[in-house]
Homo-oligomer: A and B are copies of this chain.
Amino acid sequence: MGAEGHADGTVGKALDVLDMVARHGRPLRFSDLLVQSDYPKATLYRLLQTLTHQGMLTLDPDQGTYALGVRLVRLAHAAWAQSSLAPIARPYLDELAEKTGETIHLAQMDLGQVLYVDKRNAARPVEMFAQAGKVGPAYCTGVGKAMLAWLHPDQLDQALARQSFHRHTDQTLDTPEKLMAELQAIRARGHAFDREEHEKGIICCAVPILTRSGRVLGALSVTSTTARTTLAALEEQAGLTKDIAARIAAEAESWRFPEQN
């Protein structure tokens, strides 16, 4: 088990435990955690104590179960507020959503996975926390491929190593080779498509958000269904989407020199 990475040091282990609690949606007992982790009893116990004492976990004394603590929520608030893109991008997402009438995703890269940090739903209003924070695969989503395509070679290697290449649909690019070829095409074209590679019937057109120096900040996608539109139609929005992406990038970059003299 323990598909987790090389846990460096004590804090690595502690965070590993945190993830373990986070993964299962529900409060867990000590023994539940014990069987999953390959840490010995006493070690795990101490880690849990520390995390609890630090407010990262909460121990429900009635049930004897551990859940993620409130300190995380507080940190998250700060994380979201300062995680470069999300707060800056807000008005631009609104604009893009309004102009296209489609679902918009704003994503960033998280250790080879795609992390959705904001979203505009075609139908209903926002509902932030409930949807942001989700993760998805990189190799078979529009935003994922858009980011991979412009990633620094080193980081790309790392990211590729973390892809499962599970065949979600019969369109899924299920080998590194196929994906590399696709990334090449994406770079040439300037934007990425999702041709129902992740979910049957879901298509999208995605563009990267890049700094002037070419670093990948995130990606932006316009998503729809085959029932409602076609890839070709979505591609017509690519220009607008790129424009918005550029404006987000510009603002993100200019936004870096607050007080220091």
Contact = CB atoms under 8 A, between A and B. Distances in A.
Interface of A: 8-12, 14-15, 18-19, 22-23, 25-27, 29, 32, 47, 50-51, 53-56, 58, 61-63, 65, 67-84, 87, 108-111, 115, 117, 125-130, 132-135, 211, 213, 215, 256, 258-260
Given A63-B256, A70-B108, A110-B55, A77 B26 contact: no
Given A53-B8, A133-B74, A215-B61, A81 B128 contact: no
A12 to B, nearest CB: 6
B65 A76 contact: no
A184 B179 CA distance: 66
Contacts of A29: 260
A258 B73 contact: no
Given A71-B111, A211-B62, A27 B256 contact: yes
B22 A75 contact: yes
Contacts of A76: 72-73, 75-77, 79-80, 129, 133
B25 A81 contact: yes
A135 B74 contact: yes
- Chain A contact surface mostly: mixed
A77 B15 contact: no
B62 A213 contact: yes
Given A11-B54, A125-B125, A129-B129, A68 B63 contact: no
B67 A84 contact: yes
B12 A9 contact: no
Contacts of A61: 215
A14 to B, nearest CB: 4
A82 B18 CA distance: 13
A82 B26 contact: yes
A167 to B, nearest CB: 25
A220 B32 CA distance: 32
Contacts of A132: 73, 77, 129
Q: Which 6 pairs between the two chains have the least Cβ-Cβ distance? A: A77-B133, A76-B76, A22-B78, A68-B79, A72-B79, A128-B128
A80 B62 CA distance: 21
A127 B126 contact: yes
A30 to B, nearest CB: 13
A215 B109 CA distance: 40
A129 B80 CA distance: 8
Most buried by B among A27, A74, A115, A126: A74
